[in-house]
Chains A and B, each alone.
Chain A
């Protein structure tokens, strides 16, 4: 009787202590979170900015200026008529050319970056690179690339290589190397070791082992990752133009400089369409690759 009583008491005491601890944790956590949130909003001038209040009013005003003022009966008129499609998309050929440049930048950078990543992935995979120091160094380099935001790299490369697509292609190539190098190495480490051993047993050198033992197993996965990266690189290339690395971003920057907000909207629509099309294409090819793999 006495024993059960103390057992129950101990249980109740323990339970109460646990509940109190949990609640304190929750309250402290919530307090820290709220304080952080409040300070964040304060520091980011959410409640009042230096240039006067009324953000909602400014937003409305700005949305109004983005409206190209299309008029249904004037849609097909020429460029001089305000309210026609032509006056809204007045430099369409130039923008399409810039958009195509952005696509070219993304494709070139993805191709170059993938090839470099291929090389790096063999240097970092545990089952293909026997020397630990090489693996360690290459891995750290790839990590450093991944930590550095693309645009900061682009700023430095624009300073070195001048304004233009070259800096953009180099930036995206390096960042693709960092991202894909890691993913490729992970694929390499997951391959079936028996095929490698069979080649080793028949006296194949390291290059032959990679060509006949690794490549056939990993190529579909590589291609799939590279295509996903292409989607990301296209959005990245559009943004890089803003800092001077060529392509459609440059046109965006120009539209803002001349405060042509309706033009900005037009170019933004082109960018969205471009990203959408590449996504569709890449998804289609990736599904086919996966299908081939299954067949």
Chain B
């Protein structure tokens, strides 16, 4: 088979159809190096194929035992734990929002105009932004004892730096014109905040807080593993005794609850927007 058009094109512009071999070689070597690094990491972590196979066998058996899901006659207790999980998420989000609000104001470039102070404050928040709620929960449980209280504080601590960052960004993004308008009418600084800034900021902030409530309901579900109450505790207990039909029941119930909260929250957020 002859390809006259191809040969012609190759003659005119060889680089367009075939990369030079140096580049091809470099790409291949880089790809091989990356693969070798990944394999090296897998070896270092002792990820053995044998363990993988037996694990999948066990996992298959667990999944088989999950059907049919069963409440184990404890549906009331499970529902109560689910309510507790929601309570933790709600209380944690509320605390986080209340604490993050003043921090967000301090972090906003338009409020605190000192560049060095602004930079230092933002970096300070950044340091804590990555710490997951579970890591906070682990230590708070030993400080406050077993129970949902530690979970609430853990959720709040994990959210505060993130919410504060979002709050200060939306404060910075607020349109300056309404503020000037209110100010030019002779209003006091407080009135400027109330009638110039708040109407712009409140819907955005509420929407962000609702978004964090959704996330917290997911996070709250696992804090029980370290003893911070809620559905995670019930789950952990049943996984330990291999009662997978009850595990499946709880997970299904929880996933339905998560979907309900997400839908409700999305409806609220759409109304705000």
Contacts and interface: CB of A to CB of B under 8 A. Distances in A.
A251 to B, nearest CB: 11
Contacts of A41: 87, 91
Contacts of B242: 159
Number of contact residues on A: which range applies?
35 or more
A85 interface: no
Given A43-B84, A59-B144, A264-B139, A272 B38 contact: no
A40 B235 contact: no
Contacts of B236: 155
B221 interface: yes
A228 to B, nearest CB: 13
Contacts of B146: 51
Nearest to A249: B135
A192 B56 CA distance: 41
B221 A261 contact: no
Interface in B55-76: 55-56, 58-59, 62
A148 interface: yes
Nearest to B90: A40
Contact of B135 (A51, A105, A242): A242
A275 B58 CA distance: 33
Contacts of A101: 44-45
B45 A152 contact: no
Nearest to B84: A43
A189 B76 CA distance: 45
A256 B91 contact: no
A127 B240 CA distance: 45
Contact of A55 (B45, B148, B149): B149
Contacts of B90: 36-37, 40
Contacts of A7: none
B127 A276 contact: yes
Nearest to A65: B143
B258 interface: yes
B139 A256 contact: yes
Contacts of B135: 238-239, 242, 249, 252, 268, 271
Interface string B127-154: 1101110110011001111111101100
Contacts of B86: 40
B229 interface: yes
B219 interface: yes
B147 A50 contact: yes
Contact of B130 (A44, A166, A243, A279): A279
B147 A51 contact: yes
A49 B144 contact: yes
A268 B38 contact: no
Contact of B131 (A59, A253, A272): A272
Contacts of B255: 144, 147-148
B222 interface: yes
A46 interface: yes
Interface in B66-105: 83-84, 86-88, 90-91, 94
Nearest to B51: A166
A8 interface: no
B259 interface: yes
Contacts of A157: 55, 59
Interface in A107-124: 107-108, 111
Interface in A167-200: 167, 169-170
A236 B232 CA distance: 17
B120 interface: no
Given A51-B146, A151-B134, A271-B135, A44 B229 contact: yes
A50 B146 CA distance: 9
B41 interface: yes
Given A40-B91, A58-B144, 12 more contacts: A36-B90, A40-B86, A43-B83, A43-B84, A46-B149, A147-B259, A155-B236, A156-B247, A160-B58, A162-B51, A246-B45, A279-B130
15 contacts: A44-B84, A44-B148, A46-B91, A55-B144, A55-B149, A107-B41, A149-B218, A151-B225, A152-B232, A159-B58, A162-B55, A166-B47, A166-B52, A169-B47, A272-B131
